[in-house]
């Protein structure tokens, strides 16, 4: 009796879809995993010696070296306009912090005026964004 020998067909696994998925996951992690900030290029922020976790604030205002305040790259705004915007955006009612990104060459008088205006508007927390200087003792 002669038995038929059956040929085994070797099925190959197509790895191309798996490689595509892994590549897309790597891209997603690289893009979504990096925290981004709205740090403007023209501002040199002050340095700090104690590192803390960055938690973005609901509202950021820039203070450039010309001692003028900006919402973003647009026109400069007065402290009255900033206070009005904070009130109209509901930041005070929600208890959200305000973040100040100040150029280290800005004058303290502007910082104090900002603090007074935010206190008058009812803001409970102001965060000053700095750059961590790990080389300090």
Answering whether pTM is above 0.85, one says: no
H-assigned helices in 33-107? 79-88, 91-94
Kindly state the average pLDDT of the residues 42-58.
72
47 contacts 132 by C-beta, under 8 angstroms: yes
Domain containing 93 equals: 57-132
Which tens digits make up the pLDDT trace of 76-129? 889 998 888 888 888 888 888 888 888 888 888 998 999 999 889 888 888 888
Q: Quick check: 137 pLDDT over 60?
A: no
101 in a structural domain: yes
33 in a structural domain: no
Nearest by Cα to 70 from 101, 97, 41, 46: 101
35 in a structural domain: no
User: Per the structure, how many domains does the chain have?
Assistant: 1
9 in a structural domain: no
123 in a structural domain: yes
CATH number of the CATH domain containing 81: 3.30.420
13 in a structural domain: no
């Amino acid at each position: 009796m002669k038995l038929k020998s059956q040929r085994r067909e070797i099925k190959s696994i197509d790895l191309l879809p798996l490689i595509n998925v892994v590549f897309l996951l790597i891209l997603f992690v690289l893009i979504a995993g990096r925290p981004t900030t709205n740090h403007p290029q023209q501002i040199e922020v002050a340095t700090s010696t104690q590192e803390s976790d960055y938690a973005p604030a609901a509202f950021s205002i820039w203070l450039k070296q010309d001692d003028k305040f900006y919402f973003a790259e647009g026109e400069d705004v007065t402290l009255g306009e900033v206070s009005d915007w904070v009130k109209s955006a509901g930041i005070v009612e929600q208890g959200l912090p305000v973040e100040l990104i100040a150029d280290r060459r800005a004058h303290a008088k502007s910082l104090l005026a900002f603090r007074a205006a935010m206190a008058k508007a009812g803001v409970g927390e102001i965060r000053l964004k700095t750059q961590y200087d790990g080389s300090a003792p």
